[in-house]
Structure 1
């Protein structure tokens, strides 16, 4: 009779542990800061925060014009790399931006994909 409650408690604990680790991993999100230039305008700073992982995300400030780019990216995600691409739909040569690395103004990009650091 006492075996049944013990097994139930053990099974409940296993379910709880597995759901907590899955939830924590699912909540990992990406963020990036960058500069862009409006047509005949000054350099402006912008950013994306709370972005999903493993999805190609267009940079909204440059999406409407084929000849504009965001540049000088800074990854603000502690748990994700920011892979930036010079073309739409995450095409072209990927540049991986790690967390807290100094900005490089020579990096121009139009799209970004956040990849968990655990998958490198």
Structure 2
């Protein structure tokens, strides 16, 4: 059963400027796994912006409760390289309170916009 849906869009250029203006922001928002590809290369600005959109979409699906930790929602690749959500800590607790046991994720970026949509399932 679908419990909630969340969607977010991010202007890639604006997001990139924010990361450049505040160098520690990437560490606060993203885990090491999210910041780099499986080969260890830094992710593209478009890919990073899409991952940020995913975290925002999860928060929206949860009703944007206070106290969520950015690192407790992680976009991770499966064995085929497709993005999935791993939720722990504060995000997992908020999801459990709402009866959410499974997440579905879609990421996209084109034309300077990154987007993410999540479906929360119970």
Same fold (TM over 0.5): no
Query: Which structure: greater helix fraction?
Result: 2
Q: TM-score, normalised by structure 2?
A: 0.25
Structure with larger Rg: 1
Bigger proportion of residues as strand = 1
* TM-score, normalised via structure 1 length: 0.26
